[in-house]
Amino acid sequence: MTRKLNIGIFGLGYVGLSNAVLLAKKANVTAYDIDSRKISNLKKNISPIKDKEIESYFKKNKNEIGFEVNSPNSFLRKDAIFICVPTDFSEKKNEFDTSKVTSLISKSSKLNKNAIIVIRSTVPIGFTNKINKKYKTSNIIFVPEFLKEGTALKDSLYPSRIVLGGKKQFTRVIGELIDKCAKKKNIKKIFMSETEAEATKLFSNTYLAMRVAFFNELDSFSYLNNLNPKSIINGVSADNRIGNYYNNPSFGYGGYCLPKDTKQLLKNFTIEPKKIIRSIILSNNERKIFISNIIKNQKPKIVGIYRIAMKSNSDNFRDSSIIGVIDLLINDKVKTIIYEPLLKTKNFRKCRVENNFEKFKKRASLIICNRLDKKLHDVRDKVFTRDIYHKN
């Protein structure tokens, strides 16, 4: 009987937590985070993120995963270390902040030199190769994740593909483990260098951002020319080469990945042509300006912002496109209130937070929402949205 691998997972956002749940099927998993409150809740089977499958898992499964606060002992007796910590984009440095990743690699390399280090955090192109050279090793590999917020565990169980970057001696071990734990059969495993895997991740997300920007520009054109955007999008998307996905107009792309990944990919270009990548970022910014101008031109007395979370069934505010619209309205002195039950403060971005829903609906003369909600049905006549298909 093959021995179960001992896996340590560091960082318990939606990537780390979905990895922990996935790998616990075939491995001994201990998951770590610096947030003691998060660890305490996880030990009580309380998920820190909104994900239907993850929340369901914790209701049914007890004590399958060990949860601990980070310590030097975390790295001992592990066959593999999965790094799933955030790498936010630093506007000051104009690149990802990889300090949390490098700190974990440094500790692991000192305390457990034999462990395979699996980077699942998104990093700049060339990062893993440099870090392998720094520690004179080849056991640090890059395995990008392609997960959507809110369905991270489902996407882990049914992955579109498994991309594995690094020395095959190590990537085969991790690829086979992920394959065995997933529910999907005959998953395509694609082996490449660590640098090629990093590029695959950034180009994949930038392509998705490009689709969002493209259909938003289509929607803007339709609005200015009094055309029905749904008819045009249906006609365009019926072409199998284009496809009926990532085509629902919005106030812009946002969230954990697309904004920072497009910026990092642009940074990784040096003398190469990069006009498309740059244009995606510019288009997304212009879309927010376009939306705010439409709102201002209606001269509303009070603009009501319905939810600032990135999408429905989400608790993620980070880089939410509607926040960009809020900032533009504030700059033009448009009186604005916000309805967001997840906010526990009285003010957000210099706007009053009104979490009595009935009062919010009465006070707002115009309600804007990135994604339409059936709760707004009774005030639909004063709702502004570009949501056509009522999906994320």
- Residue 70 tokens read as 């980070």
Q: Cα–Cα distance between 311 and 321 in angstroms, integer? A: 10
Q: Cα–Cα distance between 335 and 365 in angstroms, integer? A: 10
H or E, element range at 68: strand 66-69
Q: Cα–Cα distance between 326 and 324 in angstroms, integer? A: 5
Q: For residue 239, count other CB atoms closer than 10 A to its CB.
A: 9
Q: For residue 235, count other CB atoms closer than 10 A to its CB.
A: 9
Choose among 293, 337, 343: nearest CA to 315.
343
Q: Cα–Cα distance between 155 and 145 in angstroms, integer? A: 9
CA–CA distances in Å: residue 172 to residues 32, 118, 220, 316? 25, 12, 47, 34
Residue with tokens 């298909």: 389
241 residue type, one letter: R
263-294 CB burial, b ≥16 within 10 A, e <16: bbbbbbeeeeeeeebeebbebbebbbebbbeb
- Give the residues across from 303 on adjacent strands: 336, 366
Residue with tokens 């201990």: 30
369 is catalytic: no
Q: Cα–Cα distance between 126 and 133 in angstroms, integer? A: 11
Residue 86 backbone dihedrals phi, psi, to 5 degrees: -70, 145
Q: Cα–Cα distance between 199 and 260 in angstroms, integer? A: 14
Catalytic one among 84, 181, 257, 351?
A: 257
- Residue 91 tokens read as 């506007």
Check: CB of residue 336 under 8 Å from CB of residue 302: yes
Check: CB of residue 85 under 8 Å from CB of residue 121: yes
Q: Cα–Cα distance between 69 and 35 in angstroms, integer? A: 7
H or E, element range at 72: none
Q: Would you please indicate which residues are annotated as catalytic (active-site) residues?
A: 257
